Amino acid sequence: MTGSDQANVAVAANSLFKNYGSVEALKDVSLSINDNEFFTLLGPSGCGKTTLLRIIAGFEAITAGTLFLHGKNIADLPANKRPVNTVFQNYSLFPHMTVADNVGFGLEMQGKDKQHIKQRAGEMLELVQLGEYADRKPSQLSGGQQQRVALARALAPQPEVLLLDEPLSALDLKLRKAMRIELKQIQENAGITFIFVTHDQEEALTMSDRIAVMSQGELQQLGTATDIYQEPKNKFVADFIGESNLIASTVLGADNNSIQCKLTDNVSITTPNTLGAAPGDQGELCIRPERIRLSNSGESASLEGVVDSVMYLGTDTQVVLKLDDKQSISVRTQNADNNRAVVEVGQRVGLHIDESSCRFLAG
């Protein structure tokens, strides 16, 4: 990943370690983030994503490893000397300054002249549609407006990389969804690399060019939204991104292209061999609930189960079934027409699994 095209790499981290006393917050994290990329660090709380962001910002020192920004070693550079800006989770707007002074603060510290600061702050506020709020104090704004001011403030000095620490988490759902689109547009228009930290997988999937999934201080998988959803590398990623049925399984037979995995005692599934599994490997079979179709008429099915519960969710219906070996499996069917009650609790139905979408995860 490193070295292939240095000019286009914005941030390159190599074997980063971060310890707090005996706690390992980051363990051997290596990644490179490209110019103009919307890059997301995704993971549950305590996974190290915020630590990594704070290390790039310069608020935390690294225990071991190297960190480069556009080819320049920044590991020992203090935060105020790094050409990166942060949008903080709780905005951290300066309460005693007006909105315009907040937005102009970074430029002022860079020693820009007053005229330029005023003009640029005005432009930034227009960009986030808060032009007429320039003279207000942050406390006079709503949460969503404060969030925009924080964004304008961080963008104003034209940083090489913009860091966003769960900036949408304090907003309500509707506003959050609107801001996602807006953030993505701003990123594309400004042509600045965004590093976005979130624990919300939907946020990550909708906005990001690439996503780094983290857990317990380690990088689990790095790839596009499609990659990490369709080709999860391990159980954690499969479980964390979207819903999945993870069923204990054994590899029965394998060649370069496909593997046969045990599903139940007499049913096996043939899946692509993307992770190089060998016969006898123990692990889990990842089956996405929306890749299973149910049939309740006479259609023959290799796998059958009894409906345990049916939950109507608006766009789709979630059905939980018990297989013959008491294994639970969850299925999602789209409510694309008016036939609401597809199945009923207690009914025996056939399951048709899209085998090519299943993955065997060793572990």
Distance CA 330, CA 232 (A): 18
Kind of pairing, strands 210-215 and 218-223? antiparallel
User: Of residues 58, 223, 283, 305, which one binds another protein by CB under 8 A?
Assistant: 58
State how far the alpha carbon of 216 is from the alpha carbons of 11, 220, 236, 281, in Å. 22, 9, 11, 25
User: Of residues 32, 50, 85, 145, which one binds another protein by CB under 8 A?
Assistant: 85
Closer of 68 and 91 to another protein (Cβ): 91
Q: How far is the CB of 139 from another protein (least distance, A)?
A: 7
**153 touches another protein (CB under 8 A):** yes
Distance CA 147, CA 182 (A): 12
DSSP character string of 91-140: ----TTS-HHHHHHHHHHHTT--HHHHHHHHHHHHHHTT-GGGTTS-GGG
Q: How far is the CB of 123 from another protein (least distance, A)?
A: 17
Question: 87 to 116, contacts with another protein by CB under 8 A?
Answer: 88, 90, 92-96, 105-106, 109-110
Number of shown-chain residues binding another protein (CB under 8 A): 26
User: Of residues 22, 139, 226, 339, which one binds another protein by CB under 8 A?
Assistant: 139
Span of 53-61, 209-217, 308-316, 348-356 interacting with another protein by CB under 8 A: 53-61
**22 touches another protein (CB under 8 A):** no
Structure tokens at 24: 């390992």
**240 touches another protein (CB under 8 A):** no
Structure tokens at 57: 């910002």
Q: Sign of the CA dihedral 106, 198, 207, 66?
A: positive
**133 touches another protein (CB under 8 A):** no
Q: How far is the CB of 278 from another protein (least distance, A)?
A: 49
**86 touches another protein (CB under 8 A):** yes
Structure tokens at 322: 């018990």
Distance CA 309, CA 84 (A): 50
**334 touches another protein (CB under 8 A):** no
Angle between helix 114-127 and 99-109 (nearest 10): 130
Asked if residues 17 and 44 have their Cβ atoms less than 8 Å apart, the reply is: no
Q: How far is the CB of 110 from another protein (least distance, A)?
A: 5
Span of 35-43, 64-72, 77-85, 248-256 interacting with another protein by CB under 8 A: 77-85
| Binding site residues, another protein, CB under 8 A | 57-59, 78-81, 84-86, 88, 90, 92-96, 105-106, 109-110, 137, 139, 153-154, 157
